[in-house]
Amino acid sequence: MKSIQKKGLLITSLIFVNGYLFAQIDFSKFEIGAYGSAYVYQGDLTPSRLGSLATTKPGGGIFVSRLVNRAFAIRANFSYGTLYGNDAVYSSPAWRKERNFNFSTPLLETSLTAVWNILGKNGAENNYGFSPYLFAGIGVAFVHIRRDWSNLNTSYFSGETGIFNGLAEDEAHRLPNIIPVIPVGAGVRYAINRHFSANMEFTYRLTRTDYLDGFSKAADPSKNDHYYTLSAGLIYTFGKKSNLDCPKMKY
């Protein structure tokens, strides 16, 4: 009986403490959002400077923002998607279809970014019309890279030892599971009403690896691989009034 009473007292205490802490949060300084994204791989398996638009894959994510003042916010992002690249989808140059490398990987990313609302419209009572913003930060991407060169036309490359030596080196190289990323980008949001806004943004991820697609020495080891997303979503801004304005100085 005493044991049950002690457990009941502990649960009651935890509920009280959690409720107290929850009540202390100034929600007028927070935003939450959700979005859908198109993931575009940019690396050795595409001839385009814009990345492999032909192999774009869907994804999505959520975020929580802490509004620091009218212009700046700190945003925690959690996103999920897929990256895919395939030589065979490109007919030019002709050797790409003969090389026929491809890869795919699921990608789970978490990041922390600083967001600058250029027009200083942070806060529910100040959030109206269009407002552009810029952001940058740091993050990590968790990947499980699956590369495939089984359709390589060996007779087409019979006179080139570089690609075969490169494949041997790539096969011996351990593929990364965690990749540090630097997300940078820009977006625009439009306030539907005081609390809800729609937004669109472009996010480019800089990396320091050439093995995002699983290939380096057999492809182009001179450049690292990157990826970017095009996203559209919905943002909810808490509160009717906020304490974002700096307090007035008293003399």
Amino acid identity of residue 184, one-letter, is: V
Query: pLDDT by residue (tens digit) across 222-235?
Result: 999 999 999 999 99
Q: Report the domain count for the chain.
A: 1
CB contact at 8 A, 96 and 52: no
And the tokens for 175?
């593929």
CATH of the domain at 62: 2.40.160.20
> Residue 177: pLDDT above 90?
yes
| Separation between Cα atoms, residue 156 and residue 94, nearest integer Å | 11
Query: pLDDT by residue (tens digit) across 43-100?
Result: 999 998 899 999 999 999 999 999 999 999 999 999 999 999 999 999 889 999 999 9
Q: Is 220 helix (H, G, I), strand (E, B) or coil?
A: coil
Handedness of CA 186, 191, 197, 199 (dihedral sign): negative
Tell me if 197 is assigned to some domain.
yes
Tell me if 105 is assigned to some domain.
yes
Full-model pTM = 0.85
Tell me if 4 is assigned to some domain.
no
CB contact at 8 A, 209 and 179: yes
Tell me if 241 is assigned to some domain.
no
Tell me if 99 is assigned to some domain.
yes
Amino acid identity of residue 98, one-letter, is: E
Distance set, CA 97 to CA 19, 54, 151, 209, 225 (Å): 61, 14, 9, 25, 20
And the tokens for 88?
């065979």
Instruction: Tell me the residue range of the domain where 69 lies.
Output: 26-236
Tell me if 12 is assigned to some domain.
no
CB contact at 8 A, 29 and 69: no
